[in-house]
């Protein structure tokens, strides 16, 4: 019996860790990063002491909980870079990055934060932004991206997309897709009015019939 006890404790620790990460991912996605650690512990069904043993700071919890989203972000940028048509790759990244951020308010906040001690997170964010700068330069050289585009425009777009609030996750994604289409048209060197994705109802009244 005593020989099995260490294994049981290790298994419980792993279970608690996954419960905390699952709860953190859910609450960060729905409500952002301002949720208190005690609330995350409550939703995970563990005590605050257990949470702090696994994740001593909010930064360590955020970094690990959102590692999957950061990997997805990097994969999207890599796919765009691999596209032989730089403008098509640029548009693909805009569309998918907006949708990724629409699914997870916490990831948008984390992506825009400094997190000075989260070296892996910061390095991946730096990689994504530098790669987008390279892709933008190629699209600009091809004459498809407006010549006055700067990387800060992409950051501004991410911030604006992160401000979308809707009654349901599906409505938020629909609104994000439409916003991405509008952003792409604005980024074109010679803007053309192309059909937009369907609108999502965000305002309490219809503003234009």
Per-residue confidence (pLDDT) for residue 150, from 0 to 100: 92
In the predicted model, residues of the chain with pLDDT beneath 70 are 1-13, 114-119, 191, 193-194, 201-209
CA distance 19 to 9: 15
- In order of their start, the domains of the chain are 8-65 (1.10.10.60), 67-187 (1.10.357)
Per-residue confidence (pLDDT) for residue 199, from 0 to 100: 73
CA distance 160 to 182: 12
Per-residue confidence (pLDDT) for residue 207, from 0 to 100: 41
Per-residue confidence (pLDDT) for residue 116, from 0 to 100: 60
Per-residue confidence (pLDDT) for residue 195, from 0 to 100: 74
Residue in 109, 130, 126, 132 with CA at minimum distance from that of residue 31: 109
Contact 34, 42 (CB under 8 A): no
Per-residue confidence (pLDDT) for residue 84, from 0 to 100: 97
Per-residue confidence (pLDDT) for residue 10, from 0 to 100: 59
Per-residue confidence (pLDDT) for residue 209, from 0 to 100: 41
Q: Within 13 Å, how many C-alpha atoms sit on residue 41's CB side?
A: 16
Give the 3-state secondary structure of 89-135.
HHHHHHHHHHHHHHHCHHHHHHHHCCCCCCHHHHHHHHHHHHHHHHH
Per-residue confidence (pLDDT) for residue 22, from 0 to 100: 96
CA distance 50 to 120: 24
């Amino acid at each position: 019996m005593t020989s099995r006890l260490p294994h049981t404790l290790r298994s419980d620790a792993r279970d608690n860790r996954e419960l905390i990460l699952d709860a953190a991912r859910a609450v960060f996605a729905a409500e952002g990063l301002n949720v208190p650690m005690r609330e995350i512990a409550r939703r995970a069904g563990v005590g605050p002491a257990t949470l702090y043993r696994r994740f001593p700071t909010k930064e360590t919890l955020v970094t690990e909980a959102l590692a999957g989203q950061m990997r997805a972000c990097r994969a999207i940028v890599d796919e765009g870079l691999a596209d032989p048509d730089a403008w098509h790759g640029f548009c693909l990244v805009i569309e998918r990055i907006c949708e990724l951020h629409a699914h997870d308010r916490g990831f948008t906040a984390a992506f825009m934060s400094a997190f000075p001690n989260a070296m892996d997170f910061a390095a991946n964010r730096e990689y994504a932004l530098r790669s987008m700068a390279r892709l933008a330069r190629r699209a600009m050289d091809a004459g498809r991206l407006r010549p006055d585009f700067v990387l800060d425009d992409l950051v501004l777009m991410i911030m604006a997309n992160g401000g979308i609030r809707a009654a349901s996750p599906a409505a938020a994604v629909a609104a994000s897709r439409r916003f991405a289409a509008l952003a792409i048209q604005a980024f074109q060197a010679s803007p053309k009015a192309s059909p937009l994705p369907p609108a999502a109802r965000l305002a309490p009244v219809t503003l234009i019939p």
